[in-house]
Amino acid sequence: MSTLLARQPQITTGDDVAAALHVAIIMDGNGRWAQKRGLPRTMGHYYGAEAARKVVRAAGELGVTHLTLFGFSSENWRRPKPEIDYLMSLLRGYLRKDVASLHENRVRLKVIGDRAGLPADIATLIGEAEALTAANDGLNLTIALNYGGRADIVAGVRQLAQEVAAGRLDPAMIDEASVGAALPSAALPDPDLLIRTSGEQRVSNFLLWQLAYTEMLFVERYWPDFSGEDLKAALAEFSHRDRRFGGAVSR
């Protein structure tokens, strides 16, 4: 694990990015960004949403095929109610105003997490956005909302247990592939690169099953300051990693 290097190698076109590259991002530091500027935490979330728009655009331009953003965790409900209400209003605005633009740019939007725990109107907007963009063949954008990696695994295990109890599955046949396929997030490929902003160095219950061999990059910059150029630099750093997946050193 390393921090983002001071050097800024340039990636000029999407051709420089490996095929089927999946980048996952923990968008951290909105509140601290605002507090350092004497602003309410909600303003940090506002500018964090603006940063997300820029990074989604840059990901598509760089040839990233899958981008997964940790938007709201199952633990975030512990935050003060006014802050949660503001986050939900930002989410409503995104789903109402940005989906048309995503669709025009052939972005396919998916949401993972327990949407039953979200406000009913937001769950409806999510379903409509997914249906509208389902056939798009550009960037696969996944947003994790009311999501927790442990809950994801528990749901998958529960599904397998039900299959065993019904006599449709032999417990001896359960392997990594069957567990992965049972997860609610099963359609999501394993990330190649995880980026977390704000300098924190932990995964915070995000994609726990999928991160087994993911390269990780911890960036000091707060999320509202993260830009398309920062994503380019992260991809350049990733291009120098030697991914062995538990095997021998390749060079």
Q: Where are the domains of the chain?
A: 2-149+191-239
Identify the active-site residue in 28, 152, 192, 230.
28
Instruction: Determine the residue type at 22.
Output: H
Q: Which residue positions form the known binding site? A: 28-33, 41, 45, 73-75, 77, 79, 196, 202-204, 215
Residue numbers in the known binding site for substrate are: 29-33, 41, 45, 73-75, 77, 79, 196, 202-204
State residue 16's pLDDT score: 46
Q: Does domain 2-149+191-239 have CATH number 3.40.1180.10?
A: yes
pLDDT of residue 31: 96
Question: What is the structure's pLDDT at 244?
Answer: 76
Q: What is the largest CA-CA distance in the chain?
A: 60
Q: Residue 248's pLDDT is what?
A: 57
105 is catalytic: no
33-78 pLDDT, tens digit each: 999 999 999 999 999 999 999 999 999 999 999 999 999 999 999 9
Bridge partners, residue 109, by sequence: 141
Annotated binding site for Mg(2+): 28, 215
Q: What is the pLDDT of residue 107?
A: 98
pLDDT of 2 reads 35
Amino acid 249: pLDDT: 55
Cα gap 62→65, rounded to integer Å: 9
Give pLDDT, residue 208. 98
- Active-site residue, from 16, 76, 105, 114: 76
d(CA 113, CA 73): 8
Task: Identify whether 28 is a catalytic site residue.
Answer: yes
* Contact predicate 5/220, CB 8 Å: no
Beta strands at 193-196 and 108-112: parallel, antiparallel or unpaired = unpaired
pLDDT digits (tens, 9 = 90+) for 153-165: 999 999 999 999 9
pLDDT < 70 positions in the chain: 1-19, 247-251
**What's the pLDDT score for residue 242?**
84
